[in-house]
Each structure stands twice: as structure tokens, then as C-alpha cells.
Amino acid sequence: MSNLKDRAINAVIWSLIERFGNQLVQFFIGLILARLLMPDDYGLVGMILIFISLSTVISEGGFSSALIRQTNVDEKVFSSVFWFNLVSALLCYIFLFSASSLIADFFKHEELELIIKISGLNIIINSVNLIPKTILIKKLNFKTQAKINLSSIIVSGIVGILMALNGMGYWALVFQVLIRNFLVSALFWIVNKWRPKLFFSRVVIKDLYRFGSNLMFSSIINTVSENLHAILIGKYFDAKSLGFYTRANQFQKLPVSGIYGAVSAVSYPILSELQSSGKSVYSGYQSMLKMIAFSLFPIMAILATISDSMIFVVLTEKWMPASEILKVLTIVGLFYPLHAMNLDILKVKGRSDLFLKIEILKQILNIITIIASISFGVIGLVWGSVILNVLCYVINSWYSKNFINYGILSQIQDLLPYFTISVILFLLMGILETLYSNQLFFLLTAPLIFSSLYLLIMKWLKIEEFNIFRSIFSKFFITK
């Protein structure tokens, strides 16, 4: 058990390095691009994201999660999944290529046709690295993944900036993503000794598909749910409004995907290993949920605090409408990891059927909230997303109560200290902001003041997660 704990801590450290290293580099590259490009450029690219995301989910088929959950996987299994995934990706790209003109007509932007045809190549590129990446995840080797992803983001970011400087507009965003995914796939193949064999088994695919298909359909529904706002904004408003929403959403997702992504990437294989050995997942899951709240709640509060100053100073005045959207999205950022982590329990328990049913229910609720909020404009849609995420948390935590006896009341009791202190400090910083006359000075000092007070209070209250945070932080600098 101690060996598993050490592996988990080391994996979390490198997962954090990967996520935050990638996110921070991407963040600064995004800031440069946002100053060089217009909101309309982001809006155009944002219109097609759902089609690329859906195609990727369909071609992946939920096989990665199925493979991670299995303890004994041989070469025949890996090769069968590789060939099946590659063929699925090719078919998805052909379909998307054929439908590109229809999608362009739907949004009334003819330039989208060529954007889709080129961006669609990401589907095929991503399919190639499915097995090499899955193998590294099963081994909890996040160190290699961190190096690959970080180097790919830096190179592709430089290319994107150079293209933007040369007046290539939205193509800078398109090729930045394309080059990054190509480099990631190429490097995964270089560092991984695995190579596919000329072998394919329908029995293997059928067996994995029983579990993975439910996750695939769940991911399809979730992808539609997450991107439905972008489609509606692009269709019924304009590219500029979608650009504001896309930029604000990227800011909000930076800490969410960094913290939740790092923990969930480790939690699923670790909890699956605990489950397969007959040990309870309750304590492991509780620790991970509390660690997410300890880290993410104050960051979301800080982001809401500095929203106006950050948008004005960093992105310039042309992006200011994104600030109001960002403030509301920080509330979404509080609840999304909570309900998503609760769903992970169903995967660990092998109940992908329930996973799918919950996603269907979530989509129904999403449609209801959209109908009720779209008349209030973009900001109304964002508030509808807040309501949706709260409802999802209530529903998903009900299953955690049934499977591991850790329901919403117990979770709220555990998470309340982090939430309460974050809200109090947010209100305090709001008062402090009125005393500042320089937005740049506030942007530079507010996060430091907030985080210092937060950590001091956590230490004073003897919150266990503070010691875990300090331990991880110290090991962060000695990890090799």
C-alpha cells in the first residue's frame, strides 16, 4: 500500500507539472495571440470545435478508459484497439470533410469549410497516439507525458505567434493546434517501444466495447453539452460574442483542467487498482476530492477578483466584455470538478451503464436550462450553465452515497471550510480593490495577498490538506 501511495504522489506531482506547465505556457502564448488577433478569429475557430471534439470521441470509442481499467492487457489487445481506432478516425474525418460545406452554410461563414477540412486532420493524428499514451498512463508515467506535451506546446505556440504576426488571422489558431498534436503523436511514438502488430480480434473489440461504448456515448453527450453554448452563440449572436465567450472559457478552464485534470488522470488508475485489490476506495476518493477543493476554490475566487484588471491589462480594452462572462464561469469552475469526480466512481465500479444514463439526464437538463436562459443573451446562457452544474453535482453525488457511502452531505461538510474561507477572502479583496487606483498594481498584488492569507488560515486551522500541499510542493522541486 505504501508503494502505491508513493507512486500516486509521484504521479500527481508529474501530472501537475504536465497540466500546469502546459496550461501556463499555453496561457502566455494565448495572451500574445489574443493581442495580435481579433475576437472574431477566436469565434470562427470556436464554431467548429464541437465537430472536431465529437469526431475524436467517436473514433476513440472509450477504449482508453477500458484499457486502463483492465489489469492484464497483452499485445493482441493493444494492436486490435489501435487498428480499430485508426479506421474509425479515418471514417470520421471523411464524414466531416464531406459535411464541411453544410456546416459552413449553417453558421453563414464560408471560410469555415476549409478550416474544418484542415482542422479535421487532428482526428487522425490523435488516434495514432491512443495506445502509446494509454500505456504510459497505466504505468503512471506522467513524467514522460509532461516533457512531450510541454515541448510540443512551446514549438507549436511559436509557430502560431509567427503566423499571427504575419497577418494570417484565424489560421494561426488552426495550425497551432494541428502542429501541437502532430508533435505529441510523433514524440509518443519515439519514446514508446510499443509498435502495433498485424493482428485484429473482433472478440477483443467486442469485449472492450461493452464497457467503453457506454463511456463513448457518455462523452458524446457531454461534448455536445459543453459545446452547445458555443454553437448557439455562433448561430444566434455573432462571431465576436463567441470570441468573448471562448476567451473567458479558456481563462476559467486553465486552473480547472490543470488541477482536476492532474488529479483525475491519477485517481482513475489508482482507484481502479484499489478496487481490483478489494480495498475500499472511500478514503482515497475523499482525499482527492478535498485536495481539489483546497486548491481550486481559492483559485476560482482569485480569478473572479482580478477578472476586470486581468482582461483590461493583459488583453486590452477590446476584450473587456469577456470579463463579465468570466466572473460567472468561475462559479461553474467550482462545481464542475465536483460532479465530474463523483462520476469517476461509476467508472471505477464498472458501471458505465449508469454513467451513460446520467449523461443523458444531464443533457435533458442542459436543454431545459438553455431554453429558459437564451432570451437573456450570452450572460443568461452562462448563468444557465451554473444552474446545470449545481444540479449535476446533486445527482452525481447521490450515486457516490450508494456505492462508497460518501454522499452530498458528507462531501459538503468536508468542502465547506475551503468554500467559506475563499468567499470571505473574495469579499475582502473586493473591498480592497476599491482602494486601488492602478489596475496593473492590483493585478500583481491581489493574487499574492489572497493566497498568502488563505494558506495562513489553512495552517492556523490545521487543515490536513495544507500539509499535503506543502509536502507535494517541496517534492515538486526535487522530482527528477
Model pLDDT for residues 20-37, shown as the tens digit of each residue: 677 778 778 887 888 888
Question: In the block, which residue shows the cell 457531454?
Answer: 222
- The cell numbers describing 278, all together, are 478489494
What 375-382 contacts at long range (C-beta under 8 Å, 24+ apart), as own/partner pairs, is 377/237, 378/233, 378/237, 378/241, 378/244, 378/245, 378/325, 379/324, 379/325, 379/328, 381/229, 381/232, 381/233, 382/229, 382/245, 382/325, 382/328, 382/329, 382/332
Helix, strand, or coil (residue 198): coil
- The cell numbers describing 421, all together, are 474561507
Q: Look at residue 271 in the predicted model and tell me its pLDDT.
A: 65
Whether 360 is in a domain gets the answer yes
Q: pLDDT by residue (tens digit) across 390-433?
A: 888 888 888 777 777 778 888 888 889 889 999 999 999 888 88
Whether 7 is in a domain gets the answer no
Q: Could you give the count of Cα atoms lying within 13 Å of 181 in the half-sphere of its Cβ? A: 21
Chain mean pLDDT for the chain = 80
Taking residues 241-265, what's their average pLDDT?
Answer: 76
Of 45-49, 85-89, 307-311, 414-418, least confident by mean pLDDT is 45-49
Whether 28 is in a domain gets the answer no
Same domain (yes/no): 229, 246: no
Closest CA to 116 of 187, 180, 25, 48: 48
Which of 234, 265, 284 terminates a domain? The answer is 234
Same domain (yes/no): 177, 277: no
> 10 Å Cβ neighbour count for 228?
17
Greater pLDDT, 82 or 255: 82
Cα angle value 356/387/366 (rounded, 5°): 40
Taking residues 327-336, what's their average pLDDT?
Answer: 87
Which of 174, 201, 234 terminates a domain? The answer is 234
What residues have CB less than 8 Å from 347, skipping those under 6 apart?
Answer: 65, 69, 215, 268, 272, 355
Closest CA to 310 of 300, 299, 301, 322: 322
Cα angle value 356/358/363 (rounded, 5°): 95
Same domain (yes/no): 220, 272: no
Whether 308 is in a domain gets the answer yes
Percent of the chain with pLDDT over 70: 83
Q: Could you give the count of Cα atoms lying within 13 Å of 243 in the half-sphere of its Cβ? A: 22
Q: Look at residue 165 in the predicted model and tell me its pLDDT.
A: 92
Radius of gyration of the chain (CA): 22
Same domain (yes/no): 230, 244: no
Taking residues 158-163, what's their average pLDDT?
Answer: 93
Whether 219 is in a domain gets the answer yes
Domain of residue 315, residue span? 237-480
Whether 49 is in a domain gets the answer yes
Confidence at 1, pLDDT banded by 50, 70, 90: very low
End-to-end CA, the chain: 23
Torsion sign across C-alpha atoms 326, 261, 188, 84: negative
Greater pLDDT, 169 or 231: 169
**Which of 61-70, 199-208, 330-339, 416-425 is most confident?**
416-425
Same domain (yes/no): 275, 409: yes
Residues 199, 80 contacting (CB under 8 angstroms): yes
Of 194-208, 339-353, 385-399, 414-428, least confident by mean pLDDT is 339-353
Closest CA to 89 of 41, 126, 131, 140: 126
Same domain (yes/no): 183, 253: no
Q: Look at residue 159 in the predicted model and tell me its pLDDT.
A: 93
Same domain (yes/no): 215, 291: no
Same domain (yes/no): 201, 249: no
Helix, strand, or coil (residue 434): coil
pTM score: 0.67
Q: Give CA separation, 274 vs 13, 71, 280, 284, 285, in Å.
A: 20, 11, 7, 9, 11
Report the C-alpha gap between 392 and 366 in whole angstroms: 10
Confidence at 98, pLDDT banded by 50, 70, 90: very high
Greater pLDDT, 422 or 38: 422
Taking residues 154-182, what's their average pLDDT?
Answer: 91
Same domain (yes/no): 138, 244: no
Q: Give CA separation, 98 vs 92, 103, 356, 376, in Å.
A: 10, 10, 29, 35
Same domain (yes/no): 222, 247: no
Whether 8 is in a domain gets the answer no
Taking residues 33-45, what's their average pLDDT?
Answer: 82
Report the C-alpha gap between 249 and 93 in whole angstroms: 27
Cβ-based burial of 163 (10 A; exposed 0-12, middle 13-18, buried ≥19):
buried
Q: Look at residue 406 in the predicted model and tell me its pLDDT.
A: 79
Residues 175, 183 contacting (CB under 8 angstroms): no
Q: Look at residue 15 in the predicted model and tell me its pLDDT.
A: 65
Same domain (yes/no): 219, 250: no
Domain count, the chain: 2
To the nearest 10 degrees (0 to 180), the angle between helices 130-138 and 142-165 is 140
Q: Look at residue 354 in the predicted model and tell me its pLDDT.
A: 77
Q: Look at residue 278 in the predicted model and tell me its pLDDT.
A: 45
Helix, strand, or coil (residue 365): helix
Q: Look at residue 415 in the predicted model and tell me its pLDDT.
A: 87
Report the C-alpha gap between 233 and 142 in whole angstroms: 37
Same domain (yes/no): 161, 87: yes
Which of 234, 251, 269 terminates a domain? The answer is 234
> 10 Å Cβ neighbour count for 372?
13
- Dihedral pair phi/psi, residue 463, rounded to 5°: -75, 130
Taking residues 458-475, what's their average pLDDT?
Answer: 73
Whether 142 is in a domain gets the answer yes
Q: Look at residue 114 in the predicted model and tell me its pLDDT.
A: 92
- Dihedral pair phi/psi, residue 120, rounded to 5°: -60, -20
